[in-house]
């Protein structure tokens, strides 16, 4: 039996990841705040033949996350995989943000990931086995306007994870660590995140469905490597930041402002999930199915990079051998 813990398990990417893992032989511990959504997710897990444990916990509370890990091991045995996917964000220009909003986004999106990692590490390290998966974002490397608190939190996850990776290497630990950087995904986030913008938020296109992302996170958990960059849009954003950050600032100042809003006016009365969970079961997908892709050769290539590099190496070696043989034959013919 394999024990997998998922934070942010009740909706969006986390919910899709839970569905992807839910197979006979898998025990899933589901962490989020809203009990109703968690119970629905657990029902799906059990229907798929796996076992489920519902853990209504706020990841900003380090002691509660550690307690959730202890309860998981008491019920299911040693944790094999821990996936940090919980998040909150606020859509607003910096000048309209409050200190309390920065603190809350940081406590959930960054520290929630740290708390999950600590709870997993303290159990995995003495056993010298287990895998921690950070659900990252291209925005960890390349910040965009209107999401400063979230971009900073995702960037902090990379800084934290890089330090930990060095320490695991130093200690010759067999605990594995991987970060899966996502492109824009069609999730409920855009209908329940706090927003001060005049129009309804949307993921910055191109948009992908969460099931495609869940496949990649599942793959990463079993084939952990330093980082996965999912899709050409994520790779382009990360590389643009490394090569020409000033040009990227100017491009994003325009494209990523209106690009994060639809034409629909915002509903100022809708509840948001910054401090408390919103009621209802929103599932994995958001409202962008008409524009979101369910397949991506670039995401597939990122998952199977080793296979592709191996094939490319074989093609190169084969071509070199063919050229060498042809030249040798022509030299023999001249003689
Ligand atoms: N969607 C995108 O475009 C996109 C792009 C790049 C990366 N990502 C990454 O993908 C992951 C999931 O994002 P998403 O779009 O799926 O978000 P989402 O649809 O808003 O779902 C967030 C999940 O986190 C849970 N959550 C929120 N606050 C929590 C807290 N304080 N404690 C515990 N659980 C909490 C929510 O359930 P409750 O409210 O019931 O707690 C829900 O299960 C995040 O790591 C995000 O950075 C998303």
| pLDDT score, position 308 | 65
DSSP 137-182: EGGGTS--TTBHHHHHHHHHHHHHHHHHHHHHHHTT---EEEEEEE
- Model confidence, pTM: 0.94
86 CA to centre of ligand 1 in angstroms? 4
Q: Is the pLDDT of residue 99 over 70?
A: yes
Contact 106, 28 (CB under 8 A): no
Q: SS3 for 217? A: helix
Tens digits of per-residue pLDDT, 199-209?
A: 999 999 999 99
171 CA to centre of ligand 1 in angstroms? 32
How many angstroms separate the CA atoms of 172 and 166, rounded? 10
Nearest C-alpha to atom 37 of ligand 1 is from which residue? 32
User: Angle 148-170/111-127 helices, nearest 10 degrees?
Assistant: 20
How many angstroms separate the CA atoms of 31 and 159, rounded? 24
Nearest C-alpha to atom 5 of ligand 1 is from which residue? 184
11 CA to centre of ligand 1 in angstroms? 7
Say if ligand 1 is within 6 A of residue 85 CB. yes
At residue 275, what are phi and psi to the nearest 5 degrees? -105, -30
Name the active-site residue from 102, 110, 141, 150: 150
How many angstroms separate the CA atoms of 315 and 242, rounded? 30
How many angstroms separate the CA atoms of 139 and 148, rounded? 10
Average pLDDT over residues 232-244: 95
Tens digits of per-residue pLDDT, 297-322?
A: 888 888 877 766 776 777 777 777 77
Say if ligand 1 is within 6 A of residue 89 CB. no
Task: Count how many Cα atoms sit within 13 Å of the Cα of residue 198 in the half-sphere of its side chain.
Answer: 3
Say if ligand 1 is within 6 A of residue 194 CB. no
Domains of the chain by residue range: 2-303, 305-335
Mean of per-residue pLDDT scores for the chain: 95
2-303 in CATH: which number? 3.40.50.720
When pLDDT is cut at 50, 70 and 90, the band that residue 286 belongs to is very high
Say if ligand 1 is within 6 A of residue 203 CB. yes
When pLDDT is cut at 50, 70 and 90, the band that residue 332 belongs to is confident
Tens digits of per-residue pLDDT, 152-207?
A: 999 999 999 999 999 999 999 999 999 999 999 999 999 999 999 999 999 999 99
Relative to beta strand 184-185, strand 26-32 is unpaired
When pLDDT is cut at 50, 70 and 90, the band that residue 10 belongs to is very high
329 CA to centre of ligand 1 in angstroms? 63
Average pLDDT over residues 10-21: 98
Say if ligand 1 is within 6 A of residue 119 CB. no
Say if ligand 1 is within 6 A of residue 224 CB. no
Nearest C-alpha to atom 2 of ligand 1 is from which residue? 185
């Amino acid at each position: 039996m394999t024990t997998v813990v998922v934070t942010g398990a009740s909706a969006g990417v986390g919910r899709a990841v839970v569905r992807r893992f839910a197979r006979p032989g898998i025990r899933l511990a589901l962490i989020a705040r809203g009990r109703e959504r968690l119970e629905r997710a657990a029902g799906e897990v059990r229907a798929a033949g796996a076992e489920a444990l519902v853990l209504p916990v706020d990841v900003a509370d380090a002691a509660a996350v550690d307690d959730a890990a202890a309860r998981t091991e008491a019920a299911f045995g040693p944790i094999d995989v821990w996936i940090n996917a919980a998040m909150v964000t606020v859509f607003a220009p910096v000048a309209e943000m409050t200190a309390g909003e920065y603190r809350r986004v940081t406590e959930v999106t960054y520290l929630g990931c740290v708390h999950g990692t600590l709870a997993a590490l303290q159990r995995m390290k003495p056993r010298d086995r287990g895998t921690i998966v950070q659900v990252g974002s291209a925005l960890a490397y390349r910040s965009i306007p209107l999401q400063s608190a979230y971009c900073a939190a995702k960037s902090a996850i990379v800084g934290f994870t890089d330090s930990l990776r060095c320490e695991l290497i130093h200690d010759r630990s067999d605990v594995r660590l991987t970060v899966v950087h996502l492109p824009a995904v069609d999730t409920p986030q855009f209908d329940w995140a706090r927003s001060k913008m005049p129009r309804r938020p949307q993921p910055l296109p191109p948009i992908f469905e969460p099931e495609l992302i869940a496949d990649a996170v599942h793959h990463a958990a079993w084939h952990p490597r330093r980082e996965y960059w999912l899709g050409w849009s994520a790779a382009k954003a990360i590389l643009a930041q490394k090569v020409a950050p000033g040009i990227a600032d100017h491009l994003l100042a325009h494209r990523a402002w209106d690009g994060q809003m639809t034409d629909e006016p915002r509903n100022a009365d809708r509840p948001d999930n910054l401090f408390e969970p919103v009621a209802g079961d929103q599932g994995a997908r958001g409202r962008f199915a008409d524009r979101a892709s369910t397949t991506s050769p670039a995401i597939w290539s990122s998952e199977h990079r080793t296979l592709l590099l191996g094939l490319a190496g074989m093609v190169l070696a084969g071509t070199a051998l063919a050229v060498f043989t042809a030249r040798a034959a022509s030299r023999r013919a001249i003689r």
